[in-house]
Amino acid sequence: MTPTTVETIDIRRFVLALLSDVAADRNFERRFKSGHRDLHRFFWRLAQDEPTKAFVAQLLFDVNGNYPYSSQIDELLQEFQLAGLLARPNPTYRYNDISFTTPTYADEFRKGLSPEEQSDYSKILERFKAELCVPRR
Amino acid sequence: MVDDFLQRVNAFVAESLEGYKPERHAREKSIRDAIWGTNRLYPWEMAIIDSPLLQRLRDIRQTGLAYLVYPTAEHSRFDHTLGMVAVASKIVRSINDRYYGVQKDPRINYKDHMLVRFSAILHDVGHSCLSHVSENVYGGMPEFRTLRAQLNRLFGVTPRPHEIMSWLVVRSQSFKDFVQGLREKSILTGWECTPEDLDAIAGNIIGYRKNPAEKFIADIINGPMDADKLDYLVRDAYFAGPTVVYDLERFLQTVDVITYPRDAEIGDETGKVTRLSIRMEGVTALEQIIISKLMLFSYVYHHHKIRCVEAMCHEALRGLVELSRQKPEDKVSLWLGHPSAFLRVSDRTLLPLQWPLEIRIAGAKTTGEILTMLAKRELYKRALIISRLFIVDIDEKEEVRKGFEELLKCGEDTTAGDSLRHHVFERARQLMGARTHKSQTDSLRRTFDTHHVFLDVPKAPTIEETVGVMVPVTHNRHGAEDTFVPLLDVFPIEKWVDAYNAIKWRGHIFCLDEAVPYVNFAARQVLAGSPYYLRFTPPATTLCKVSPDLAQSELVF
């Protein structure tokens, strides 16, 4: 299989793969923090670092406010919410619950990556879990 | 890429202003407005407003083709522009009032006030025919995507396509020369508007300010709670007809300029940014504004018939772009081969009946056909409603949720959308050719093609109004540090948006009136298969006014 080039990494597939991997990890709860600032900052930091920026190459960030913001991330999460893949439970809205368990998103996404990209993806996943996910007690 | 665009836009500006004599128009005027009453405009403002650059906005409807559904929604970008000047001035005066007696100089000085008004006058100058309808077409052209990415790298902002066009107009040399001419002719007096000031105006339009301590000035023009929104919400509602109100007085009493910490990674050495915000006692007024916007989505922007005519027009414009790209400029009467060419098009140049014929002759049959239909208000009809409420087992089965996500993807991904639409079309054509229908569908089958089926998956509203807004919870007006909370913490607007999406959001499949039953059945069949696995409850069909017999009877086919 021809490795995926950086230009072809689809942000939608990438985010779904991250969520799918978190959902499949028994050490973490199936949710991630919904804090706007932390969430956008996470993706913005990916866009700043050389090996990881390819994964978020489709995102444009506004950095004129008090924290980096990409409306594309909001739109994606809104769509996942509309589709029922995510849910924000009342009353606090502090988390996005991941409402799917299928590993297909992550499996399919990984298949399209070169070995180096797979390794970079695994590092991003660990960062995502460490910064935004909740370990299971 | 930026230079190429600037050159092209400069040529347009030069042509527009050629022969225009501003001195004939430059006198103070009081202009009545249905929304904001009588507004005073200064001589230098009138010199710009009366120029062909701004006058063309009279022929660009604010809400695109909404007038085909709400007959009185005929208001133009020009009306909105004047309204925005009035609101922007109100915001400036309210802020200055707040600091009256607290500090010696006004919080926003006279020159910045004038620059804010200039920015308001020019903020929509880059719009093209039918406003956001054309914006979605040229904004998707590859050259424009590259330009947008470049501007993002240069300024760290993510403006919408028409804002970028306005930025190009204001940055063009011809426009700078024109403003220089206003100074030389003593039309612009009492304050200086240098080329650098024009760059700052262009920055305000795209929401950029070089100095973070002045970011609030750009916020008045393009920000979470800008004058643009305050005008268009009330104006669109007023002219379309639905009653949508918000408490502007309360908002103005509580709007403020606030300095708060900024992420070290994106900020300068001060680590601070000064933005337009609202004090805690005005949060309810801001909530009203946001809820009004959601209501307008329901009433107007996402109204199924408006989405339908916009989808038709979008298709026609895409056809014109394709035709223009195949043929040189002098061979196509309405050439749209480059995004900047859209500046030369207004509503009246797009829709007249003589065009469709010429376009057909030039080789874009479908485009001509759609434009003729729009001119006669012969609209496509709904064949299927896509709503979370009408999808069977969406809460129970993961496969269904995954399938719905696949369908939603088609809104953004035109290749996926075109492929789905083609499948539905093919299946519908097969059904028309089935033995039981063959005789009734003879003429329909001869003319029916892919372009007679549209898939419409609108974007859900987002929460841009609250992004990054910090609300002061203390009352320090004398320079002491305020304490802040993020607005999202005291007002989780996501709940409203989520509720809107769950209850109100709808996508559609539209098609030719006579093809509705076939397309309805075909769409349900295609969407029931891989990769969607979606089955719809009866209202998804019956609300389209498809005969229940046809909708329910699989036997018919």
Using CB atoms, which residue from B156, B486, B495 is nearest to A62? B156
Specify the pLDDT at position B124.
97
- A50-59, B2-11, B429-438: which range is least confident on average? B429-438
Interface test with B, best of A10, A60, A64, A69 (most B CBs within 10 A): A64
State how far the Cα of B204 lies from the Cα of A112, in Å rounded to an integer: 42
Q: Which residues of A touch B527 (CB under 8 A)?
A: none
Using CB atoms, which residue from A69, A99, A101 is nearest to B467? A69
Query: Where would I find the beta strands (DSSP E) of chain A?
Result: 28-33, 86-87, 95-98, 133-135
Average of per-residue pLDDT across B40-54: 95
Specify the pLDDT at position B486.
83
By C-alpha distance, the chain A residue nearest B271 is A66
Using CB atoms, which residue from B156, B388, B412 is nearest to A64? B156
Residue segments in chain A with a per-residue pLDDT below the cut of 70:
1-7
Specify the pLDDT at position B353.
67
State how far the Cα of B531 lies from the Cα of B519, in Å rounded to an integer: 19
Q: Is the per-residue pLDDT at B467 higher than 80?
A: no
Share of chain B above pLDDT 90, in %: 62
Q: Which residues of A touch B404 (CB under 8 A)?
A: 82-84
Contact in structure between A113 and A5 (CB atoms under 8 Å): no
DSSP state, B504? T
Specify the pLDDT at position A1.
38
Q: Is the per-residue pLDDT at B525 higher than 90?
A: yes
ipTM for this model: 0.91
Specify the pLDDT at position B480.
53
Would the CB atoms of A65 and B460 count as touching at under 8 Å? no
Q: Which residues of A touch B463 (CB under 8 A)?
A: 74
Higher confidence at residue B554 or residue B541? B541
Specify the pLDDT at position B368.
86
Query: Where would I find the beta strands (DSSP E) of B8-110?
Result: 29-33, 37-41
Residues 6+ apart with CB under 8 A from B538: B548, B551, B552
Interface test with B, best of A15, A56, A70, A82 (most B CBs within 10 A): A82
Does A94 touch chain B if contact means CB atoms closer than 8 Å? no
Q: Counting runs of H as helices and runs of E as strands, what totals does chain B give? A: 26, 9
Q: Is the per-residue pLDDT at B479 higher than 80?
A: no
B:476-495 residues touching chain A, CB 8 A cutoff: 486, 488, 492, 494-495
| SS3 state at A135 | strand
Q: Is the per-residue pLDDT at B487 higher than 90?
A: no
By C-alpha distance, the chain A residue nearest B265 is A67
Average of per-residue pLDDT across B328-341: 86
- pLDDT mean across residues, chain B: 89
Specify the pLDDT at position B334.
83
Q: Which residues of B touch A64 (CB under 8 A)?
A: 155-157, 207-209, 212, 215, 218, 273
| Terminal-residue alpha carbon distance, chain A | 40
Other CB atoms within 10 Å distance of the CB of residue B361:
11
State how far the Cα of B527 lies from the Cα of B401, in Å rounded to an integer: 13
Specify the pLDDT at position A2.
41
Task: Give the residue from B120, B71, B127, B110 showing the smallest Cα distance to B231.
Answer: B120
State how far the Cα of A111 lies from the Cα of A118, in Å rounded to an integer: 9
Does A96 touch chain B if contact means CB atoms closer than 8 Å? no
Would the CB atoms of B208 and A81 count as touching at under 8 Å? no
Please name the residue ranges forming H helices in B50-100.
52-55, 77-98
Does B414 touch chain A if contact means CB atoms closer than 8 Å? no
Residues 6+ apart with CB under 8 A from B50: B22, B25
Q: Is the per-residue pLDDT at B552 higher than 70?
A: no
Average of per-residue pLDDT across B342-361: 81
Does A62 touch chain B if contact means CB atoms closer than 8 Å? yes
Q: Which residues of B touch A34 (CB under 8 A)?
A: 494
Q: Is the per-residue pLDDT at B548 higher than 70?
A: no
Q: Which residues of A touch B498 (CB under 8 A)?
A: 81, 88
Cα–Cα separations (whole angstroms), residue A8 to A44, A88, A116, B327: 19, 30, 15, 31
Specify the pLDDT at position A93.
80
State how far the Cα of B487 lies from the Cα of B279, in Å rounded to an integer: 10
State how far residue B149 is from chain A, nearest Cα, in angstroms. 7
Q: Is the per-residue pLDDT at B307 higher than 90?
A: yes
Q: Is the per-residue pLDDT at B553 higher than 60?
A: no
Specify the pLDDT at position B491.
79
Specify the pLDDT at position B303.
94
Specify the pLDDT at position B523.
96
Interface test with A, best of B153, B154, B155, B158 (most A CBs within 10 A): B158
Using CB atoms, which residue from B266, B400, B488 is nearest to A63? B266
DSSP state, B413? -
**What's the pLDDT band for B362 if we cut at 50, 70, 90?**
confident
Specify the pLDDT at position B216.
95
State how far residue A85 is from chain B, nearest Cα, in angstroms. 6
pLDDT in tens, B212-235: 999 999 999 999 889 999 999 999
Specify the pLDDT at position B444.
82
Would the CB atoms of B501 and A78 count as touching at under 8 Å? yes
By C-alpha distance, the chain A residue nearest B158 is A62
Contact in structure between B80 and B124 (CB atoms under 8 Å): yes
State how far the Cα of B344 lies from the Cα of B8, in Å rounded to an integer: 11
- B302-306, B335-339, B435-439, B512-516: which range is least confident on average? B435-439
Q: Which residues of A touch B208 (CB under 8 A)?
A: 64
pLDDT in tens, B161-203: 999 999 999 999 999 999 999 999 888 888 889 999 999 999 9
Average of per-residue pLDDT across B427-452: 82
Q: Is the per-residue pLDDT at B437 higher than 80?
A: no
Would the CB atoms of A62 and B158 count as touching at under 8 Å? yes
pLDDT in tens, B119-167: 999 999 999 998 999 999 999 999 999 999 999 999 999 999 999 999 9
Specify the pLDDT at position B209.
93
Average of per-residue pLDDT across B282-288: 88
Share of chain B above pLDDT 70, in %: 95
By C-alpha distance, the chain A residue nearest B212 is A64
State how far residue A94 is from chain B, nearest Cα, in angstroms. 10
Question: Model-level pTM?
Answer: 0.92
Does A91 touch chain B if contact means CB atoms closer than 8 Å? no
Any idea where the domains of chain A sit in the sequence?
A: 6-135
State how far residue A127 is from chain B, nearest Cα, in angstroms. 18
Contacts 24+ apart (CB under 8 A), A27-31: A27/A135, A27/A136, A28/A129, A28/A133, A28/A134, A28/A135, A28/A136, A29/A133, A29/A134, A29/A135, A29/A136, A30/A97, A30/A98, A30/A101, A31/A95, A31/A96, A31/A97, A31/A98, A31/A133, A31/A134
Q: Is the per-residue pLDDT at B527 higher than 90?
A: yes
Q: Is the per-residue pLDDT at B369 higher than 90?
A: no
Please name the residue ranges forming H helices in A26-114.
36-48, 50-53, 71-83, 104-111
**Residue B33 pairs with which residues in a beta bridge?**
B37
DSSP state, B131? T
Does A99 touch chain B if contact means CB atoms closer than 8 Å? yes
| Terminal-residue alpha carbon distance, chain B | 54
Q: Which residues of A touch B146 (CB under 8 A)?
A: none
Interface test with A, best of B219, B494, B530 (most A CBs within 10 A): B494
* Residue B514 structure tokens: 């006579």
DSSP state, B328? -
Q: Is the dihedral of CA B145, B151, B156, B158 positive or negative?
A: negative
The length of chain B is: 557
Contact in structure between A56 and A49 (CB atoms under 8 Å): no
